[in-house]
């Protein structure tokens, strides 16, 4: 048979690091012919020193060591992406504020020391944006042109994709869907505003609405048919649905991806979300908007960080 495929496209590897308050995860992805494949991944407990002031130095050193270990095991990588759970400065690669990791993180360089430890260009990204990018490129939103994503956990992370690109904004904060106001006089949110989606849909509020100690128990109770838990999830779904309907009116996405622990409730949460969307997003054809659970689980952050590093490197190279 004639070989009509021509020379094979180069296969390039990229490393993603995911900084969490409990674990640091890493993954090496390979990119060829527009497709992504996972080569290796692992996680280690985050070095949280008893001395709060020493935590950032310890974690940044650990990220550098982890990157070096991953590269030693998987061979050279072209870029490193680092997902961080909070605010950062895309121009300098320093963190600004990480609400759930101890330590003074304001102005703490992270990308530069990891790059210095490995000799590879490194780029930061918010962890929710990394989640969305991973689901867009190799997860449940593959092939979508526009999407919104929500991660339902301790907080409510968000991500917006328009025309195949994650919207980052001028300072990396675009996509905070969880902090849109849905009740001007609602409960206080950790961000300082009141009545945010997150103030109703973060894990502790899900548990409170369902009469359980944790969000995981809330999901289990609802799945077992507990009436209060079912009502609680329906209420949470209603608030999420209002926020999502606002986003549908704003960008008319192809796909809505829901991830994080509470999304495990499946239809018990998705059905009230859909019902609320149908009440409030009337300008577009909702038949063309699909709501899907995330596919990549706990690894989405590391995968998305790897993809982000690759895309930032490509943008730098081509001057975009």
Would you count residue 173 as binding Zn ion (CB under 5 A)? Answer: no
Q: How far is the CB of 149 from Zn ion (least distance, A)?
A: 17
Q: Answer yes or no whether residue 182 interacts with Zn ion by CB under 5 A.
A: no
Nearer to Zn ion by C-beta: 17 or 189? 189
Which of 189, 256, 265, 306 contacts Zn ion by CB under 5 A?
Answer: 189
Residue 179 binds Zn ion (CB under 5 A) = yes
Q: Which residue carries 């020493």 as its tokens?
A: 54
Q: Which is nearer to Zn ion, 192 or 225 (CB)?
A: 192
Looking at the Cβ atoms of 190 and 293, the one nearer to Zn ion is 190
Segment contacting Zn ion by CB under 5 A, of 127-135, 150-158, 174-182, 281-289 = 174-182
Q: How far is the CB of 97 from Zn ion (least distance, A)?
A: 14
Cβ closest to Zn ion, residue 74 vs residue 174: 174
State both tokens at 108. 């703490």
Out of 191, 208, 250, 298, name the contact with Zn ion by CB under 5 A: 191
Cβ at position 177, least distance to Zn ion in Å: 10
| Candidate ranges 43-51, 167-175, 185-193, 208-216; the one touching Zn ion (CB under 5 A) | 185-193
Which lies closer to Zn ion via its Cβ, residue 13 or residue 179? 179
Note whether 271 and 291 are within 8 A (CB): no
Count of residues engaged in binding Zn ion, rule: CB under 5 A? 6
Q: Which stretch binds Zn ion (CB under 5 A): 120-128, 154-162, 198-206, 207-215?
A: 198-206
Alpha-carbon distance 246 to 4, whole Å?
A: 49
Q: Which stretch binds Zn ion (CB under 5 A): 49-57, 108-116, 192-200, 206-214?
A: 192-200
Give the residue, chosen from 193, 214, 220, 290, that forms a contact with Zn ion under the rule CB under 5 A. 193
Q: Which residues bind Zn ion (CB under 5 A)?
A: 179, 189, 191, 193, 196, 198
């Amino acid at each position: 048979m004639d070989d009509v495929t021509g020379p094979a496209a180069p296969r390039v590897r990229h490393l993603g690091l995911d900084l969490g308050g409990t674990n640091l995860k890493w993954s090496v992805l390979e990119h060829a012919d527009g497709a992504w494949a996972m080569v290796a991944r692992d996680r280690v407990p985050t070095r949280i020193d008893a001395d709060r002031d020493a935590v950032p130095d310890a974690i940044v050193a650990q990220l550098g060591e982890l990157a070096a270990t991953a590269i030693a095991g998987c061979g050279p990588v072209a870029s490193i992406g680092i997902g961080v759970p909070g605010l950062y400065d895309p121009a300098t690669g320093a963190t600004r504020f990480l609400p759930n990791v101890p330590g003074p993180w304001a102005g703490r360089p992270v990308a530069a020391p990891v790059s210095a430890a490995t000799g590879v260009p490194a780029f930061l990204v918010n962890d929710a944006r990394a989640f969305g990018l991973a689901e867009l490129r190799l997860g449940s939103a593959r092939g979508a042109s526009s999407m919104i994503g929500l991660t339902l956990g301790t907080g409510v992370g968000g991500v917006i994709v328009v025309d195949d690109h994650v919207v980052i904004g001028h300072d990396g904060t675009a996509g905070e869907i969880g902090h849109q106001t849905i009740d001007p006089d609602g409960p206080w949110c950790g961000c300082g505003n009141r009545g945010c989606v997150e103030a109703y849909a973060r894990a502790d509020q899900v548990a409170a609405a369902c009469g359980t100690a944790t969000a995981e128990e809330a999901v289990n109770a609802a799945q077992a048919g507990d009436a209060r838990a079912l009502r609680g999830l329906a209420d949470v779904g209603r608030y999420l649905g209002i926020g999502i309907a606002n986003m549908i009116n704003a960008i008319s996405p192809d796909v809505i991806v829901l991830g994080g622990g509470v999304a495990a409730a499946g239809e018990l949460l998705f059905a009230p979300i859909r019902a609320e969307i149908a009440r409030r997003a009337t300008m577009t054809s909702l038949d063309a908007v699909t709501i899907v659970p995330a596919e990549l689980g706990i690894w989405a952050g590391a995968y998305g960080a790897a993809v982000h590093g690759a895309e930032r490197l490509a943008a730098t190279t081509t001057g975009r």
